[in-house]
Amino acid sequence: MQKETNLELVRQHVSVANGLPNEHYIDQSVFDEERNSVLFNQWAGLDVCSEVPEIGDSKPINFMGLPLFIIRDNKNIVRVFQNTCRHRGMILVEKTKKIQGAIRCPYHSWCYSTEGKLISTPHVGGPGQNTDENIDRTKLSLVEIRSHVWRDVIWVNIDGTAEPFEEVMASTIDRWKELDQKLYHGGEDGKFSLKVKGNWKLAVENYCESYHLPWVHPGLNSYSRLEDHYHIVKYGSHSGQGSLVYRQLTDDKGQKFPDFKNLSKKWSTGAEYIALYPNVLLGAHRDHAYAIILLPLSYSETIENIHIYYSQPNTSSSLKKKNKDQWKEIFEEDIFVVEGMQAGRLGVKFDGGRFSPKMDEPTHCFHDWVASKVNDFRNNNHQITNVTE
Amino acid sequence: MSLNNKILKAHHNKNLSLLVELYQEAADKVSTRQEQNFFRVQAYVYALEVGHHLTPILHKKLVKDGVEE
Ligand code: FES
Ligand SMILES: [Fe+2]
């Protein structure tokens, strides 16, 4: 049965609010409700375009139980489709692969173009006959999922009801306008994945705030002290933190990554880390950027896919590796907190917790957003369904 | 090796370009129009999958015979 959690306290001012109730982390029905109310009806991050670098590259992705695949079509456009054949519902793309010509269903070989059009239906009218008067191919294209690309991230609006991406994300896009430059993925030295035993929201919450730095990342804190951080809070949109003391990585020969072009002065020692709701965590610096896409596996398990980007192709591979290792260490330091907070929410008398009015506004900003979206969903009497076209 | 065995082997090895050729060969060997089209469709489907250069020609033939659109 659907549990209806009380979200009134969450939406109070940060100084008096409680966090989201336990059920938002440990209850299947609330997880399902959030799937429809804060993920499928918003612009959620799915993957990055660099995962399908060449025409024809395709990759299956399971997004909260929904089988999807991404593909770079013949016209070089990255598209997202439901990974289900229009004939008998077979999975079409079972593993990452290059589509040379058409996507052939492994069951009865119906063939789709990389743009999703049904282009052949072998023997559908009997042996040797590929047509049938009742099979109208134009009505049997693959189901395409609404998508948008920004900063190499493929964002999807599964239920098709969200306002256009540029409108929804306007304030973040505007904030980082000068960073809107071509990004070069670091390749194998620029990606890694972590699996955490925690609800996806805990990864967002932990990412938003700098309060934990002195204890969880003591190494980081030696040059990036708490007082050198500022909050980024935009209620209804995003939150995070900025640093005033970013130091560029150097290798043994004193080499650094090349900078992005024409950045304002604040970026010479500045860095910003923004959680773009619901599930993408972004980082930006003068010389590199990254995106973390959170894929919820269940209410208590999440995959974090991390992708690092540079201002130019072919930057030093040893430096890229060093950078990747450094970030990996930091993100791994956060795992025990996410898992610990997950375990802590089995404490039935936990009331969602309190926020430090001074330190936790970015976290509250996220809770407030989740609560408002869940409330909207309930008020509009939406039903929890799987996917709607 | 018989054509049949060659086809089985090509399936086993997932050699799709070879399947395009072998199924065409099979189409040339049978007598009725239906059998011909059956094998030609097989060739056509694998040609589509691999983006074979003969795809347009196969397509044209099938359309001409009224079995493809
Ligand atoms: S299920 Fe895909 S062709 Fe039959
Ligand atoms: Fe952290």
For residues A38 and A69, membership in a common domain is answered with: no
Query: Is B54 exposed, middle or buried (CB count within 10 Å of its CB: 0-12, 13-18, 19+)?
Result: middle
Query: Is residue A127 within 8 angstroms of chain B, CB to CB?
Result: yes
C-alpha closest to that of A183 among A290, A275, A277: A290
- In which element (H, E) is residue B55 found? helix B55-64
Residue A246 sits in the same domain as residue A146:
no
Q: What percent of chain A has pLDDT over 90?
A: 91
Q: Please indicate, yes or no, if residue A158 is contained in any of the structural domains.
A: no
Please say if the pLDDT value at position A73 is more than 80: yes
Residue B28 pLDDT: 95
b/e sequence B22-52, b meaning 16+ C-beta within 10 Å:
bbbebbeeeeeeeebbbbbbbbbbbbbbbeb
Q: Do B45 and A128 touch (CB under 8 A)?
A: no
Nearest beta carbon to residue B45 from set A100, A109, A129: A109
pTM of the shown model: 0.95
CATH number of the domain residue A145 falls in:
2.102.10.10
Kindly state the average pLDDT of the residues A192-202: 98
Inter-residue contact B32 to B56 (CB < 8 Å): no
- Residue A137 contacts by C-beta under 8 Å, 6 or more apart in sequence? A117, A118, A119, A121, B69
Mean pLDDT of chain A: 95
pLDDT in tens, A258-287: 999 999 999 999 999 999 999 999 999 999
Q: How far is A70 from chain B (nearest CA, A)?
A: 17
Helix (H, G, I), strand (E, B) or coil at A378: helix
A108 lines ligand 1 (CB under 6 A): yes
Does B38 contact A at CB distance below 8 Å?
yes
For the residues A158-182, what does the mean pLDDT come to?
96
Predicted confidence at residue A386, as pLDDT, reads 52
Which residue, by CA, sits nearest to atom 1 of ligand 1? A88
Mean predicted confidence (pLDDT) in A234-249: 95
Structural domain contains residue A8: no
Inform me whether the pLDDT recorded for A384 exceeds 70: no
Q: Do B51 and A100 touch (CB under 8 A)?
A: yes
Given a cut of 90, whether residue A55 has pLDDT beyond it is yes
Residue A233 lies in a domain: yes
pLDDT in tens, A325-361: 999 999 999 999 999 999 999 999 999 999 999 999 9
Q: Do A343 and A375 fall into the same domain?
A: yes
Q: Which of A84, A87, A143 to mutate to test the pocket of ligand 1 (most atoms within 8 A of CB)?
A: A87
Q: How far, in Å, CA of A149 to CA of B43, rounded?
A: 37
Q: What is the CA radius of gyration of chain B?
A: 12
Please tell me the number of the ligand nearest to residue A106's CA: 1
Residue B39's closest chain A neighbor by CA? A128
Q: Which residue segment(s) compose the domain that A117 sits in?
A: 45-150
CB distance from B31 to chain A under 8 Å?
no
Q: Are residues A212 and A361 in the same domain?
A: yes
Averaged pLDDT, A229-235: 95
Say which ligand is closest to the CA of A219. 2
Same domain, A340 and A257: yes
User: CB-based contact (8 Å) between A137 and chain B?
Assistant: yes
Residue A164 lies in a domain: no
Domain ranges of chain B: 3-64
Cβ B68–A137 below 8 Å, yes or no? Answer: no
Residue A33 has pLDDT above 60, yes or no: yes
- A105: Cβ below 6 Å to ligand 1? yes
Is residue A219 scored above 60 in pLDDT?
A: yes
Q: Cβ contacts of residue A131 below 8 Å, gap of 6+? A: A121, A124, A125, B67, B68, B69
Regarding whether A186 and A137 lie in a shared domain, the answer is no
Query: pLDDT tens digit string along A82-106?
Result: 999 999 999 999 999 999 999 999 9
Residues A216 and A116 reside in one and the same domain: no
Q: Which of B33, B34, B45 sits opposite A111 (nearest CB)?
A: B45
One domain, residues A207 and A333: yes
User: By alpha-carbon position, which residue is closest to atom 3 of ligand 1?
Assistant: A108
Domain count, chain A: 2
Atom of ligand 1 nearest to the CA of A85: 2
Instruction: Please choose from A84, A107, A135 the residue to mutate so as to test ligand 1's pocket, defined by most ligand atoms within 8 A of CB.
Output: A107
* CATH assignment of the domain containing A361: 3.90.380.10
Does residue A389 surpass a pLDDT of 50?
no
Asked if residue A271 and residue A184 are part of one domain, the reply reads: yes
Compute the distance from residue A216 Cα to the ligand 2 centre, in Å. 7
| Helix, strand or coil, per DSSP, at residue A111 | strand
Q: Are residues A144 and A187 in the same domain?
A: no
Domain-embedded: residue A53: yes
ipTM of the assembly? 0.96
Residue-wise pLDDT tens digits, B9-62: 999 999 999 999 999 999 999 999 999 999 999 999 999 999 999 999 999 999
Q: Which residues share a beta bridge with A82?
A: A68
Q: Are residues A134 and A37 both part of a single domain? A: no
Looking at the predicted structure, is the pLDDT value of residue A31 above 70?
Answer: yes
Closest CB to A130 among B46, B55, B68: B68
Amino acid residing at A6:
N
The C-alpha atoms of residue A259 and residue A173 are separated, in whole angstroms, by: 20
Protein residue with its CA nearest to atom 4 in ligand 1: A108
Whether residues A353 and A214 share a domain: the answer is yes
Give the pLDDT band of residue A234 (cuts 50, 70, 90): very high
Check residue A272 and give its pLDDT: 97
Task: Tell me which chain B residues have a C-beta less than 8 angstroms from the C-beta of A122.
Answer: 41-42, 44-45
